[in-house]
Amino acid sequence: MSLRLLLSCGEPSGDVYAGALVRALNALSPGADVFGLGGPAFAAAGGRLIEDFSRLTVTGLTEVLAKIPALHAAKRRLVEAARTERPDALVVIDFSGFNLRLASDIHALGIPVIYYISPQVWAWRSGRIKTIARTARRVLVIFPFERAIYEQAGVPVEFVGHPLIDLIPAVPPRADYLRAHGLDPARPVVALLPGSRTGEVHRILPVLAGAISLIRARVPDAQFLVAQAPGLADDLFAPVRGISGCTVVRGEADAVLASSDVVVTASGTATVQTALHGTPMVVVYKLAPLSYTMGRPLVKLETFAMVNLIAGSRIVPELIQDQCTPATVADEAVLLLTDAARRAAMMEGLARVRQQLGGPGASRRAAEAILNVVGE
């Protein structure tokens, strides 16, 4: 009988990893039926959508309140699908607020639960590890420092490496790419990545737009590439449209990163993506004020950017909440454009981060671990 898995991911980055995982599972177990909550990458890889996450994803504590009815309805559908179809296991990818509750319900049905790209218990709400310990047959982590955390809690864990290593596509030569978008390869390029969710782009992009003129005042020949994540509405990017020397590009983040001299990026998976390209970066983030006020006391970390956490030190600057202003963004970007020693030191740090993320084959290793759990 072929493999049958329920899978749940609720964000664009998790969807990309889900797609890669489905492809790896099908290579190892042809005809595998993987169904559940996902998005376009999951579906394109052959996943069967029970729920599309596009109507569920939000950023922040207060913003999620409006989504609670839809989240409950999605969870009910997934639990009913598990009850009816009896998958060999549930695989949950990130999206912890939803997936922890789903995992508890599926565990109660006697179905093994596997956490892939597990909740960031080391950052906030460490008590969640108790739920994971109670429900998880295996935790598959993508950052090396996470393994010890789960081992100390008595949770079966494997480090499989970061799937992005295999997902970085081939990109055009820098000069060709820039010319194709009307930019001059001889002039410096600043990439702006305001995020993949509507709310964060709405908060962050106006700040980045405001920084453009301040950067140009000090680096007059600077040009700008703005990465628009797939699925985001064009009108969100109105703050940067029409600015001379500023081009908005949809769905080509890797080409944008590879063609840039400096990246200003929202905190999240994009920081790892930028590190894999070895491009110096400034990390920014803004939540809705109430969400930040409520959430900050729960966060145990003094640094937020994933590359800094992996490195164990602040190798890239972080401009969070009130520190995220056009002036501070411009200051940090200009330093990286003009200070060769600062650029070199950051690039050395990013190289160390890349070394710690594991070699190629993370999705296949994750698929092998899932098959091992199913076979136990």
pLDDT tens figures, 69-104: 888 999 999 999 999 999 999 999 988 889 999 999
Lowest average pLDDT, out of 45-49, 269-273, 335-339, goes to 269-273
b vs e for 14-24, b when ≥16 Cβ sit within 10 Å of the residue's Cβ? bbbbbbbbbbb
Q: Which CATH class is domain 174-356?
A: alpha beta
**Better-scored residue on pLDDT, 287 or 205:** 205
% of the chain beyond a pLDDT of 90: 74
Q: Which burial class, exposed, middle or buried, applies to 330 when counting CB atoms under 10 A from its CB (0-12, 13-18, 19+)? A: buried
The pLDDT of residue 118 is above 90: no
The pLDDT of residue 293 is above 60: no
CATH number of 4-163+361-375: 3.40.50.2000
% of the chain beyond a pLDDT of 70: 91
The pLDDT of residue 324 is above 50: yes
Lowest average pLDDT, out of 45-59, 191-205, 257-271, 310-324, goes to 45-59
CA angle 20, 260, 204 (to 5 degrees): 75
Q: Which of 309, 324, 292 is nearest to 59 (CA)?
A: 292
DSSP string, 248-277: EEES-HHHHHHT-SEEEEESSHHHHHHHHH
At 294, is the pLDDT very low, low, confident or very high (cuts 50, 70, 90)?
A: very low
Within this chain, domains 4-163+361-375 and 174-356 share the same CATH topology = yes
Q: Distances in Å between the alpha carbon of 230 and those of 8, 38, 54, 114, 252? A: 20, 15, 11, 28, 9
Helix ranges (H only) for the chain are 12-28, 40-44, 68-85, 96-108, 128-135, 146-152, 164-167, 174-180, 198-218, 253-258, 269-277, 289-295, 306-311, 326-338, 340-356, 362-375
Task: Note the pLDDT of residue 297.
Answer: 47
**Better-scored residue on pLDDT, 97 or 224:** 224
The pLDDT of residue 292 is above 70: no
Residue 326 near residue 210 (C-beta atoms within 8 A): yes
- Return d(Cα 74, Cα 135) in angstroms, integer: 20
The pLDDT of residue 124 is above 90: no
The pLDDT of residue 303 is above 80: no
CA dihedral 55, 92, 269, 247 (to 10 degrees): -30
The pLDDT of residue 239 is above 60: yes
What tokens does 54 get?
Answer: 């596009």
At 53, is the pLDDT very low, low, confident or very high (cuts 50, 70, 90)?
A: confident
pLDDT tens, 139-190? Answer: 999 988 889 889 998 999 999 999 999 999 999 999 999 999 999 999 999 9
The pLDDT of residue 12 is above 80: yes
Angle in degrees, 0-180, between the axes of helices 326-338 and 340-356, rounded to the nearest 10: 90
pLDDT tens, 187-196? Answer: 999 999 999 8
The pLDDT of residue 301 is above 60: no
Mean pLDDT, rounded, of the chain:
90
Domain ranges of the chain: 4-163+361-375, 174-356
Task: Note the pLDDT of residue 65.
Answer: 63
Q: What average pLDDT does range 48-70 have in this prediction?
A: 73
Task: Note the pLDDT of residue 122.
Answer: 58
Task: Note the pLDDT of residue 318.
Answer: 96
